[in-house]
Amino acid sequence: MGGKLSSLDPMQVDVPKLNELLDRDPYLRPYEREFRRRYACFRDYVDKVKEYEGGMDNFTQGYKYFGIHINSDNSVTAREWAPGAAQVYLTGDFNGWNREANPYKRLEYGKWELLIPANSDGSCPIAHLSEVKIVIRAQSGELVDRLSPWATYVVQPPRVEGFTYKQRIWHPPSNERYQFKHQPVKRPLSLRIYESHVGIATEEARVGNYKEYAEKVIPRIKKQGYNAVQLMAIMEHAYYASFGYQVTSFFAASSRFGNPEELKYLIDVAHEHGLFVLLDVVHSHASKNVLDGLNQFDGTNSCFFHDGARGEHSLWDSRLFNYSEYEVLRFLLSNLRWYKDEYQFDGFRFDGVTSMLYHSRGIGEGFSGHYDEYFGLNVDTEALVYLMLANYMLHELYPQVITIAEDVSGMPGSCRPVVEGGIGFDYRLGMAIPDKWIKLLKEVKDDDWNIGNIVHTLTNRRWLEKTVAYAESHDQALVGDKTIAFWLMDKEMYTHMSTLSEQSGIIDRGLALHKIIRLITHGLGGEAYLNFMGNEFGHPEWLDFPRAGNNDSYHYARRQWHLVDDEVLKYKFLNAFDADMNNLEEQYGWLHHHDCRISIYIFSFKHEDDKVVAFERGELLFVFNFHPTKSFTDYRIGVEIPGEYRIALDSDSQKYGGFQRVDPSVHHFTYPEGFCGRSNSIKLYIPSRTAQVYAKV
């Protein structure tokens, strides 16, 4: 069932559109056999699922079979997969915590089943919010307590009672269940993502909740011009400071932010505002927690995970799934269906894809770009095939879905359909871009920035494999690093961000670079754009969750919205620029202009001396001058489309805290003389440290 092909010859396996992939990149031709082998592994699973389960639709609804279910007649059916257990029991409030009073019956293939009839008065024996536990009798005879892997609601007890999460039955009366009022949102042509975390979305020193996020933050996101919100840390995790990446209960939406009905309300409000909602899903690893996690669920060290070294991530101190196990596939694929069907999430951002794709987990890998790195023995076929199955299933059942891979390696074909031999993602994160910006800000004065190298980083992506570009995400905001705004202005952010304070060269430089870094990333870096909550207005300081190292302080685990709302402070300038940048993209759609290939980007012959970059995209002309001091008059730039141009966006506008050195009322006309490989040219005034976007009149 794993990555083996039985007696199949890979070259005889039909991959419907493989030639389209290979013709697009002939350098992949030597690896045709490997593409066919991977696809054969994928088809092997699909065929087995069809034979044994009737198809992917049935197979991926495991949450309807496993877990604890209250039936229409108020009886209870409970099922678990615990192949290593000698016996399984259910205990809780309902039976006075008698650990052996309700034993499960052993079924085939490591499955267990328990039926509890309704009470004599017709009521349910397990009430809403009752606490329950799964009790496993290990092969040694020891009884150990566990939470069901399929638990849909778990809560953290008061500290005086310990730290282990408790499973509670979520079965509220019908009048208390949230009913969705708004239809899911269609996938945007241009994806502009607002990456956010419900817990830190409040200004107060506490954990924020679903309801206030829906009512206070969603309107901000909409007003800011984003059309998608990516929610982090939704899958339940015992350690708050893990940012949601040490998941303990995969089917339980985090109760620290509220209950399941309140999360549904949040998503419904997002849909009301036309926002596409992405879930940050963690299927790359799981928490090592035993009492309230998946680890050693059946009393063995395997079950959901590989045993031995292959089952542990040495850097993350977590467990790694056994993707070759049939029931593990059912669990993970059903997990995606659960969040689609129960909560109406629109799409998924898959975390840790690089760790999944390689046996090395990406540790110590440089990923030079040589194709042998992507098609050798280091590739984890089982994990790769799981991702193919996940993307295939999601796109087959939900045509409007969007999936995004967090992969730094650049695996060819990751963002091409499975029928081409690809992994099936719609986008990958352009992780090299924020690394480049932070490295420059840390190590190189902007006088010495290599413009060609910046452009290369922004444009170095596979043709027709879409990239999510971003200048910084939550990774750059975490304690130990600093946001771009803080790298630029931390010396004076506490004293010179008022419009009433004396002018500061540091603040002027910081505001200018903050805007143009974002605009060139948005315009040149990919086919989608992402921003982390608060960075649009230059949120000061870093992000640090309450933990032992900071005396459990919430001081840095919040967003200071008052800064951008205060008309006296300069944060409003960055915020206004960010909104207008997004709104301009909405108007012209440069992100989804697929004719935007590397060949259409144009640069001045003197760009390294002048630090000028110019390119056309989406019928707009983008012009950047990174030079700290040099402004240019009548600067000649090549353009393809002739005609009359006006300024559509100017980073130097007074509205954005600039000096208004370019007159927005002046229109510019092209000349029929070609320049820089373009058919026409135009002459413009380009002030230092500014960016302008020109549109045809």
* Other Cβ atoms closer than 10 A to 461: 21
Q: What distance in Å separates the CA atoms of residue 521 and residue 433, rounded to the nearest whole number?
A: 8
Considering all CA atoms of the chain, what is the largest pairwise distance in Å, rounded to the nearest integer? 91
Q: What distance in Å separates the CA atoms of residue 612 and residue 608, rounded to the nearest whole number?
A: 7
The answer to whether the beta carbons of residues 313 and 243 sit under 8 Å apart is no
- Which parts of 496-652 fold into alpha helices (H)? 505-524, 561-565, 571-588, 607-610
Q: Which of 406, 536, 580, 585 is catalytic?
A: 406
The verdict on whether 351 is a catalytic residue reads: yes
Provide the β-strand partners of residue 622: 615, 693
The verdict on whether 448 is a catalytic residue reads: no
| Closest to 234 (Cα-Cα) out of 203, 204, 270, 205 | 270
Q: What distance in Å separates the CA atoms of residue 519 and residue 649, rounded to the nearest whole number?
A: 10
Q: What distance in Å separates the CA atoms of residue 442 and residue 472, rounded to the nearest whole number?
A: 14
Provide the β-strand partners of residue 646: 695
Q: What distance in Å separates the CA atoms of residue 129 and residue 122, rounded to the nearest whole number?
A: 18
Q: What distance in Å separates the CA atoms of residue 252 and residue 250, rounded to the nearest whole number?
A: 6
Residue type, 591: L
Residue type, 307: D
| Closest to 651 (Cα-Cα) out of 603, 692, 592 | 692
The answer to whether the beta carbons of residues 144 and 89 sit under 8 Å apart is no
Q: What distance in Å separates the CA atoms of residue 106 and residue 89, rounded to the nearest whole number?
A: 11
In terms of phi and psi (left: phi > 0; alpha: psi -120 to 50; beta: otherwise), the region of 449 is beta
| Closest to 511 (Cα-Cα) out of 659, 379, 385, 616 | 659
Element (H, E) at 186: none
* Other Cβ atoms closer than 10 A to 335: 23
Phi then psi for 691, rounded to 5 degrees? -140, 140
Q: Which of 195, 280, 346, 351 is catalytic?
A: 351
318: helix, strand or coil:
strand
* Other Cβ atoms closer than 10 A to 45: 22
**Catalytic annotation, residues:** 351, 406
